[in-house]
C-alpha cells in the first residue's frame, strides 16, 4: 500500500513530506502492513529530538485514525484510500463518518502535528521579550 502511493526510492525529503509519509506508515502499520525499514529511514531524516517526536506523533496519529474508524469501511483498502490515497475514492456504501476525512490541512500536514500560528505572531523581534501591557507600571 505505502510503496504504491509514495515509493521508497528517495534520497532526501522535506519535513512536510516526512510527516505525511510517517502518517501514511502509521495507517499502513495499523492495517497490518508495517514497514519498519522505511519508518527508521524517515526517522533518521530528523536532525533533532523534537523532529523525531513530531514524526512519531504523525505515525501514532495514523494508527489512531485507523483504530477509531476502520469499522466504517468494508476492507483495508477502503480504509487506506479514505485516509491516505489521494487518487482513489473509497466505496463507503454511504456510511462515511465526518471524522474519517483525512486529518490534514491544505498543505497535507496532519493537524495534530501542524505548526501553531502563535509562534509566528509578533510585530517585532523584541515584542516577545517585553512584559505584557497589564504587567507594566505606569
Going residue by residue through the chain (138 aa), what tens digit of pLDDT does each one get?
Answer: 888 888 888 888 888 899 999 999 999 999 999 999 999 999 988 888 888 899 999 999 999 998 888 788 888 888 888 888 654 433 333 333 333 334 455 455 666 666 555 555 555 566 667 777 777 776
**Are 42 and 13 contacting, i.e. CB atoms less than 8 angstroms apart?**
yes
- Please tell me the pTM assigned to this model: 0.62
Domain residues for 87? 2-135
- The CB density around residue 72, as the number of other CB atoms within 10 Å, is 17
Calpha distance 94→124 (Å, rounded):
51
Cell of 35: 514497514
Q: How far from the centroid of its chain's Cα atoms is residue 32's Cα?
A: 19
- Structural domain count, the chain: 1
In the chain, count H helices and then E strands: 5, 0
Alpha helix (H) ranges present in the chain? 2-6, 15-30, 36-43, 49-69, 76-83
Amino acid at each position: 500500500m505505502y510503496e504504491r502511493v509514495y515509493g521508497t526510492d528517495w534520497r532526501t525529503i522535506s519535513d512536510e513530506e516526512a510527516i505525511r509519509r510517517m502518517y501514511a506508515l502509521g495507517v499502513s502499520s495499523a492495517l497490518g502492513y508495517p514497514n519498519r525499514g522505511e519508518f527508521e529511514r524517515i526517522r533518521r531524516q530528523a536532525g533533532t529530538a523534537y523532529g523525531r517526536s513530531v514524526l512519531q506523533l504523525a505515525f501514532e496519529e495514523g494508527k489512531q485514525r485507523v483504530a477509531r474508524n476502520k469499522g466504517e469501511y468494508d476492507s483495508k483498502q477502503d480504509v487506506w484510500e479514505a485516509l491516505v490515497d489521494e487518487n482513489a475514492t473509497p466505496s463507503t456504501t454511504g456510511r462515511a463518518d465526518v471524522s474519517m476525512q483525512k486529518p490534514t490541512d491544505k498543505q497535507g500536514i496532519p493537524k495534530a502535528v501542524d505548526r501553531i500560528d502563535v509562534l509566528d505572531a509578533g510585530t517585532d523581534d523584541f515584542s516577545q521579550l517585553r512584559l505584557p501591557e497589564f504587567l507594566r507600571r505606569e
